[in-house]
Amino acid sequence: MLPIEARFHVMATIRDVEELASVDRPAWPRLKALVDASPVDVRVLPVDQARARQVLYRLQVTARSPLGAMALNTGGMVVDGGWLRILGAGAKGLPDLAEANKLTDPEPGRPAPAAMAFAYDVLGGRFALNGGTLPGARGEVCYWGPDTLEWTPLGMGHGAFLEWVFAGGLERFCAELRWAGWKEEVGAVDLGDGLACFPFLFSAEGRDITQTTRTPVPFAELLLSHDDLARQLSDVSGTGPNPTAPAPAPQVTPAPAAPKPVQKLRRPWREDRLPREYSIPREYRVAREHRFRP
């Protein structure tokens, strides 16, 4: 069994790259053996050693951990023909682990990231290690899905997650989000792009992905769009004022302001609709909860 989690803490001391890279019992041989024995398609992207060492230094984790092993020995990994992209030291179209988490050179006293993103799927789903702000335990892998717009803990650490992926765990996990011919369609998508689905997968209208229109778009733009949608849906689904809160002090009513124009979605590749036109029925969410069970 691989070490299962990265350690999250406030940085007290800074270790140099030699100390981080030159360790006994590095994780890479075990990871490489799992990749070689995997029944699924796993492609290890070539690594630039100078960049890999810089990424490892910025992460401040050792090569004994799976996270450090990915940073030091791979440009990343492409699983299932591009459905899943696991980050490493960066490659054409893929950010490195430090870049994806906005990490620069370490400084004493700098807190570790609240969440450490380490993988994405082609539909804009995100996998991250919980640094304390996501559901579940610290170090646990959480998944943010375009079909739920929320984080869900998966009950495993980073090493266990990689073993699960290499053993074919994605087949069941992603079954409801795949369609006939997905391999050919996904294989044609550049690593720097993802598939934007319309109607949105979180909506009742988009629950059947075979009935959606899927368009390749820059991946960074897809993530920003999902964040916009989640924020807007949160704004329009509020429950209103707290009935137990004290009544506010009387205020003078200001003169009515001119009505503001409705802000439209900024993405040119999507139809011009606001997320309030879509619904997330409770029974739909309950029906999909089994995706996250072991």
pLDDT tens digit sequence for 80-90: 999 999 999 99
Model pTM score: 0.80
Q: Is residue 241 part of a domain?
A: no
Q: Is residue 111 part of a domain?
A: yes
Q: Is residue 257 part of a domain?
A: no
Cβ proximity of 189 and 197 under 8 Å:
no
Contacts by residues 143-151 (CB-CB < 8 Å, ≥ 24 positions apart): 143/292, 145/201, 146/197, 146/200, 146/201, 146/202, 146/226, 147/176, 147/177, 147/201, 147/202, 147/207, 147/288, 148/202, 148/285, 148/288, 149/202, 149/226, 149/229, 149/230, 149/233, 149/280, 150/230
Distance from chain centroid for Cα 107: 26
The two structure tokens encoding residue 253: 């009513």
With cut-offs at 50, 70 and 90, classify the pLDDT of residue 255. very low
Q: Is residue 12 part of a domain?
A: no
Residue type at position 201: L
Q: Write out pLDDT tens, residues 58-82.
A: 999 999 999 999 999 999 999 999 9
- Residue 260: per-residue pLDDT: 39
With cut-offs at 50, 70 and 90, classify the pLDDT of residue 13. confident
Q: Name the residue among 180, 216, 184, 182 with its Cα closest to residue 197.
A: 216
Structurally, how many domains does the chain consist of? Answer: 1
With cut-offs at 50, 70 and 90, classify the pLDDT of residue 279. very low
Q: Give one word for 132, left, alpha or beta, with left for phi > 0 and alpha for psi -120 to 50.
A: left
- Average pLDDT for residues 26-49, to the nearest whole number? 97
- Residue 12: per-residue pLDDT: 60
Query: What is the chain's length?
Result: 294
Q: Is residue 264 part of a domain?
A: no
Q: Name the residue among 93, 76, 96 with its Cα closest to residue 85.
A: 76
- Residue 111: per-residue pLDDT: 83
- Average pLDDT for residues 169-179, to the nearest whole number? 95
- Residue 289: per-residue pLDDT: 54
Q: Is residue 195 part of a domain?
A: yes
Q: Write out pLDDT tens, residues 120-152.
A: 999 999 999 999 999 999 999 999 999 999 999
Cα separation, 80 vs 178, whole angstroms: 12
Residues 6 or more apart in contact with residue 99 via CB below 8 angstroms = 90
pLDDT over 90, % of the chain: 69
Residues 6 or more apart in contact with residue 285 via CB below 8 angstroms = 148
Residue type at position 142: C
Q: HSE, CB side, 13 Å, CA atoms: give it for residue 130.
A: 21
State which residues form the domain around 125.
Answer: 17-228+288-292
**Backbone Cα Rg of the chain:** 21
Q: Write out pLDDT tens, residues 184-198.
A: 999 999 999 999 999
Q: Is residue 266 part of a domain?
A: no
Is the pLDDT score of 283 beyond 60? no
Q: Give one word for 226, left, alpha or beta, with left for phi > 0 and alpha for psi -120 to 50.
A: alpha
Q: Is residue 194 part of a domain?
A: yes
3-state secondary structure (DSSP) of residue 21: helix
